[in-house]
Structure 1
Amino acid sequence: MVKKIFLILFLLNASFIYAQTIKTDILVIGGSASGTAAAIQGARSKLKTLLVEPGPWLGGSMTVGGMCVVEGNCNLPSGIWGEFRKHVQNFYKSRLGYDTAYNATLRFEPYTGAAILKKIADTVKNLTVKLNTPWTTIRKDGTGWQVSIITDNRATTVKAKVVIDATETGDVAAKAGEVFVSGFDSAQDTGEDLAPQAPLPRIQDITWIAILKDFGKTADKTIAKPQGYDADAYACLKGKDIAKMLNEGRLPNDKYMVKWAGCGNQYPTTVEDLKPANRDAFYAKARLHTLGLIYYLQTGLGFKNLGLDDEYPTADHLPYMPYIREAGRARGLVRMTLNEVYKPYDREARLYRTAIAVGDASPGQHYGEGTAPKTNYPPFMAYSIPLGAVVLKDLDNLLVTEKAMSVSHLVNASSMYPSVQMTIGQGAGATAAFCAFFKTTTKKLNVRIIQGELLDFKAWLLPFADIKQSDPYFRAMQQVGATGLLKGIPQIKGNSAQMLFMPDSAVNTAEVEPFFKEIYSRAFLWFNKEKPAGKFTQGNLLSFISEITLTEPKTLQVSMQKAWKAQYKFSSDFDLNRPVTRREFAVLANKFLNPFARAVDITGRMVN
């Protein structure tokens, strides 16, 4: 009898222990823009994925933080970011005056954005989302990780093959032992011409955004005077065109996103302020500063009709968290600097070949007056994010996104942008899926397999703004672009610079010859024999394909002439003497030569 009782107790205890342990392939900690995208991609790649978020919403800065007027990546609707963008536009398209143009600034109410992300996540198989679920500890568990989370007021252990730290401030990586750098890097350290000569421990300010609603001209929504209110702190707003400033943050349903620099709601920040031990006290001060701005707007500037509604069910109706632009940065397998933005093709490392995400957000410089050097960025180029920037150098199978990525301070000013982070999160999700599926670690990544998975799910590797996802040869041009066989062409537009593919322009021999000679030993003989002119012709391309694939030249020409318009749908006539266009070249080179199949290492160097 006693033995039976012990057996029953043992089995009950074992069952209880089992119930407290969750095994998953991928664990994403943080429901930020990147974390949400990472979890969706990991699950769509058919790996069991768990996303835990301490708060009640998904979306991070875009929703939880109120950063809901999104300008970055409007020309680059990559993958899950493009999917989210389309859902938002469809939700609001019937609203009078809502701009649904292809590259329009995206505007949405924070709650609506969070609800759309949750709805997308809920439709994904293999994905479990746990909101209002904090985590407490992380430690190594073989090649994977063991993380403690709090569910239903009790501790639960999660064992994961791969963990993605998608918190806004890199809290998970920090607790796992990663050492961060912060502030301005020196020019000597990064090789960036625009960096200061000496490092400077200054990070960008936070902003506690306010979402205000117009309740009508006769309404009085004046809030109680905030603790410590000082009208002089906002006096620089006198004489400014407040109506114009409000309109810049206009949202649907008579709402406005208030994110004002200068003496608005921007708030000075240090890395110490953002550490977990100091965060709550610091956040309380920043909230009061924003409430002071609202009170000044209502009482000092006469906008008492504008008030906080119940968009956020917090005590003061401000967002759950501030808009954080910068924190500590981790050490990745590679570090992305401005040189990868402005000179991606002129570097010893070919990091663009390892691209997993794209960005074009203009870099912000949000510092108090005179507290940091002004960086005179040239028109900012659209860019690719290299795989190694999200992979920690010293901690296997732990990936980082958001402000913890391995980028320079000057790059973070753009890469931290929520829409850019959503594309980065998708890249991190595919990377985690690779490790989990192949039962390997982040020391043995296969760049091309990861990139192929991303392309399968409509993500962009190269920021070619003139090639839309609907183009039937989008993938071919992305893959050829990722090899460097055909390089992007910059086009300056105001303060930014697009990267174009220019599919209808002619291919220059000088551009493709070095690449061909790099990977095909027979290319030297071919170029010496054929001596192609400045413009590479259709005949040159077919001749080269014949040389490399050992196809009989005449047979190839005949079959290509038949397929030119019938199969490939090229708009030009088949003419061996005519210069081949970049589109034609990309399609045929991708099909017959398949340069994308050539493996590259984490720095983009070709390997056998």
Structure 2
Amino acid sequence: MASLFWLEGNEEMEKSFLIPISRRDFMKMAGMATVGALAEGTIGGAVTVEASRKSGSTMTYAGKEIPVLFAVDVCVTGGGPSGTAAAIMAARNGARTVLIERGVALGGLAVLGCVYPFMDTHAPDSDTPYVAEVKERLRKHGIEPFDGVTQQTWHNPETLTFIYDEMCAEAGVDVLFQTVVMDTVVEGRKLTACIVQTIAGLAAIQARIFIDCTGDAYLSRSAGVPFERGYEKTGNNQPLSFRFEMGGIDIDRLYQHVAVELKEDWCKSKPPYFEIAEAMHRKQRYKLEELMDKGVASGEITQEEAEYMQAYTIIGKNGVMSMNCPEIPVKFSATDPISYSKAVAYGRRMMHNIAAYLIRHLPGFEKAFISREAAMLGARESWRIRGKHYLVEDDYHNQSRFPDAVCRTAWFIDAHGEKVSEKLPKGGFYEIPYGSLVTEEIENLIVAGRCISASFILQASMRIQPTCMSIGEAAGIAAAWGIKKHIAVNEIVWDKIPAEKRSYVSKLQGKS
């Protein structure tokens, strides 16, 4: 368990919150806090604010006294696939760890975004120990993740987030829910604190090492790390999605119509594992495109709404499917707050139109209804850091190998909104090096998940959830190793860590 101490000066700390809080609730929170001390630093790599040392329970930030909730070894920001893995592995390796999550459930898009099942990496032997453990825990909870045909990992969100809670509790990770990273305090080349908005107001978290798993590289950008966003050729982000679930579906009737009557069983799996799809923009001519074309012709749905539709059954939720649509037009930006906010309402309207059309016209959907909306938009790509190693498209095609590789993957270049969609030959794969997780600028920062150092095209391949989980797993191991050996994490040589302590060991032989 993470070490926690009672703070002195609780009365002063209580007053430091920026919004009202009851003394009883405050005392509960104070009991989880640790003493911290910060020196004057820079915020976001540019703005200088007052962050003076204070030998007590609070620190001065922007002229205000705010409480220091935790002073730990490792602070992980973002409780998605990579962040949960990073926190669990750091704690298992002996680091006192706190995990910050802006929602009320761990799992990120795999839970809050209705993005399930996990796609397959298509790389042989790509499951790192953490990924294999998550699959085995699903089995123990009555969810068989393997359909017998594809390599997708089927799950349901309620079970997955419960498993993550279990794993964090067992490892001793302290989780802060409904907590948002607001800012950072940087001293020289070290990130010394992150400023968070909690349910009680602003607070600080100090750590020896920070792991940015926000997906948007927010912690890194705030600390002054160089970044990119969008496709280098167009400036566009990959399109956002607004996934949802539909209940009340007659899965057997749907299967009969699509797989038997239309003779389109391209997934080859059978209920309860079943998938339907159409993607006009990829010109693959799925049988359901005709149905969607008719909707455009009749004016019931728009061409934008007809372009992309995919649905998966959800294991353990009978009659419910996860709808991988709508794909919100690329004119909406994943990195502009105004455009993003407009995309929410636009996407919700698309969602309701698609659902209503399927209910009217797709056999099996006659009694269906929207049973759940995602609690967050699906961002395939937003910001990416520029780290010590920058992965590019050639690394994909050359099947690059690296001595400091933390995982392997072969998911195709899945760049929605762009005319790029390429696959490696069967059995091929490339590796992701540790150097793409660390930066020159901040010595105690590791980045994991879809915002690592990679070009737009390469990121379109490595962004899938199992790969992000493996990257997070390695980040947690590296953080704990750096603390034990007193090594700056951006100076760690991954392949110098004993093989039995690493989650992945490269066999090289490919190109590098």
| Structure-2 change in CA distance of 1:118 and 1:277 (3 Å) | farther
Secondary structure of 1:211's partner? strand
> What is residue 504 of structure 2 aligned with on the other side?
460
| Structure-2 change in CA distance of 1:323 and 1:272 (3 Å) | closer
Secondary structure of 2:481's partner? helix
Counterparts of 2:398 and 2:334 in 1: how far apart (Å)? 35
Secondary structure of 1:274's partner? coil
| Structure-2 change in CA distance of 1:434 and 1:399 (3 Å) | same
| Structure-2 change in CA distance of 1:157 and 1:270 (3 Å) | farther
> What is residue 172 of structure 1 aligned with on the other side?
219
User: Once the 2 structures are TM-superposed, how far is the Cα of residue 89 of structure 1 from its aligned partner?
Assistant: 2.8
User: Once the 2 structures are TM-superposed, how far is the Cα of residue 440 of structure 1 from its aligned partner?
Assistant: 3.2
> What is residue 57 of structure 2 aligned with on the other side?
18
Aligned with residue 438 of structure 2, among 391, 405, 425 = 391
* Residue 96 of structure 2 is aligned to residue 62 of structure 1: no
User: Once the 2 structures are TM-superposed, how far is the Cα of residue 286 of structure 1 from its aligned partner?
Assistant: 2.0
User: Once the 2 structures are TM-superposed, how far is the Cα of residue 55 of structure 1 from its aligned partner?
Assistant: 0.3
| Structure-2 change in CA distance of 1:34 and 1:235 (3 Å) | closer
Q: Deviations over 1:217-248 (max 9, x none)?
A: 9xxxxxxxxxxxx733159859x9x9xx54x5
Counterparts of 2:494 and 2:223 in 1: how far apart (Å)? 25
Q: Deviations over 1:435-467 (max 9, x none)?
A: 333333234213234463xx436x2334xxxxx
Secondary structure of 1:26's partner? strand
Counterparts of 1:413 and 1:211 in 2: how far apart (Å)? 25
Secondary structure of 2:432's partner? strand
Task: Give the structure, 1 or 2, with the largest relative contact order (CA under 8 Å, sep 6 or more).
Answer: 2
Please tell me whether the aligned partners of residues 245 and 322 of structure 2 are also in contact (alpha carbons under 8 angstroms). yes
Q: Deviations over 1:70-104 (max 9, x none)?
A: 232375221211111111233235x8xx7465974
Please tell me whether the aligned partners of residues 249 and 320 of structure 2 are also in contact (alpha carbons under 8 angstroms). no
User: Once the 2 structures are TM-superposed, how far is the Cα of residue 67 of structure 1 from its aligned partner?
Assistant: 1.2
Counterparts of 2:354 and 2:137 in 1: how far apart (Å)? 33
Secondary structure of 1:160's partner? strand
User: Once the 2 structures are TM-superposed, how far is the Cα of residue 363 of structure 1 from its aligned partner?
Assistant: 2.7
Tell me which amino acid in the other structure corresponds to 1:330: I
Counterparts of 1:122 and 1:172 in 2: how far apart (Å)? 25
> What is residue 129 of structure 1 aligned with on the other side?
175
User: Once the 2 structures are TM-superposed, how far is the Cα of residue 335 of structure 1 from its aligned partner?
Assistant: 0.7
Counterparts of 2:440 and 2:366 in 1: how far apart (Å)? 53
| Structure-2 change in CA distance of 1:180 and 1:85 (3 Å) | same
Please tell me whether the aligned partners of residues 72 and 420 of structure 1 are also in contact (alpha carbons under 8 angstroms). no
> What is residue 231 of structure 1 aligned with on the other side?
300
Counterparts of 1:179 and 1:415 in 2: how far apart (Å)? 20
Q: Deviations over 1:278-334 (max 9, x none)?
A: 53333232233222221222235462322233xxxxxxx301112221112211000
Secondary structure of 1:232's partner? coil
Q: Deviations over 1:461-503 (max 9, x none)?
A: 34xxxxxxxxxxxxxxxxxx2xx4xx269xxxxxxxxxxxxxx
Please tell me whether the aligned partners of residues 87 and 116 of structure 1 are also in contact (alpha carbons under 8 angstroms). yes
| Structure-2 change in CA distance of 1:149 and 1:11 (3 Å) | closer
Counterparts of 1:169 and 1:182 in 2: how far apart (Å)? 9
Please tell me whether the aligned partners of residues 10 and 57 of structure 2 are also in contact (alpha carbons under 8 angstroms). no
| Structure-2 change in CA distance of 1:68 and 1:427 (3 Å) | same
> What is residue 335 of structure 2 aligned with on the other side?
274
Please tell me whether the aligned partners of residues 304 and 329 of structure 2 are also in contact (alpha carbons under 8 angstroms). no
Matches within 5 A, 1:414-493: 414-450=461-497, 452=499, 455-456=500-501, 459-462=503-506, 481=507, 484=508, 487=509
> What is residue 17 of structure 2 aligned with on the other side?
none
TM-score (norm 1): 0.60
| Structure-2 change in CA distance of 1:341 and 1:86 (3 Å) | same
Q: Deviations over 1:31-84 (max 9, x none)?
A: 010000010111111011110101011111211111111232375221211111
Aligned with residue 331 of structure 1, among 367, 370, 386 = 386
* Residue 443 of structure 2 is aligned to residue 374 of structure 1: no
Please tell me whether the aligned partners of residues 271 and 328 of structure 1 are also in contact (alpha carbons under 8 angstroms). no
* Residue 79 of structure 2 is aligned to residue 31 of structure 1: yes
Name structure 2 gaps, 5 residues minimum: 1-7, 15-29, 31-55, 59-66, 252-298
User: Once the 2 structures are TM-superposed, how far is the Cα of residue 337 of structure 1 from its aligned partner?
Assistant: 2.0
Count of aligned positions: 405
Q: Could you say which structure has the higher strand fraction?
A: 2
| Larger mean Cα displacement after TM superposition, 384-393 or 100-109 | 100-109
Q: Deviations over 1:248-302 (max 9, x none)?
A: 5554423212114xxxx11124684434465333323223322222122223546
Please tell me whether the aligned partners of residues 77 and 85 of structure 1 are also in contact (alpha carbons under 8 angstroms). no
Counterparts of 1:285 and 1:58 in 2: how far apart (Å)? 27
> What is residue 206 of structure 1 aligned with on the other side?
240
Tell me which amino acid in the other structure corresponds to 2:366: K
Counterparts of 1:208 and 1:251 in 2: how far apart (Å)? 21
Secondary structure of 1:145's partner? strand
| Structure-2 change in CA distance of 1:379 and 1:270 (3 Å) | farther
Q: Kindly, what percent of the aligned residue pairs are identical? A: 19
Counterparts of 1:341 and 1:139 in 2: how far apart (Å)? 36
Counterparts of 1:344 and 1:236 in 2: how far apart (Å)? 36
Counterparts of 2:115 and 2:90 in 1: how far apart (Å)? 25
Counterparts of 1:270 and 1:140 in 2: how far apart (Å)? 35
User: Once the 2 structures are TM-superposed, how far is the Cα of residue 116 of structure 1 from its aligned partner?
Assistant: 1.4
* CA RMSD, Structure 1 to Structure 2 (Å): 3.3
Task: Give 1 or 2 for the bigger CA radius of gyration.
Answer: 1
Please tell me whether the aligned partners of residues 337 and 410 of structure 1 are also in contact (alpha carbons under 8 angstroms). yes
> What is residue 284 of structure 1 aligned with on the other side?
345
Please tell me whether the aligned partners of residues 314 and 321 of structure 2 are also in contact (alpha carbons under 8 angstroms). yes
Counterparts of 1:64 and 1:10 in 2: how far apart (Å)? 38
> What is residue 256 of structure 1 aligned with on the other side?
321
| Structure-2 change in CA distance of 1:204 and 1:151 (3 Å) | closer
> What is residue 409 of structure 1 aligned with on the other side?
456
Counterparts of 2:422 and 2:496 in 1: how far apart (Å)? 38
Counterparts of 2:344 and 2:221 in 1: how far apart (Å)? 20
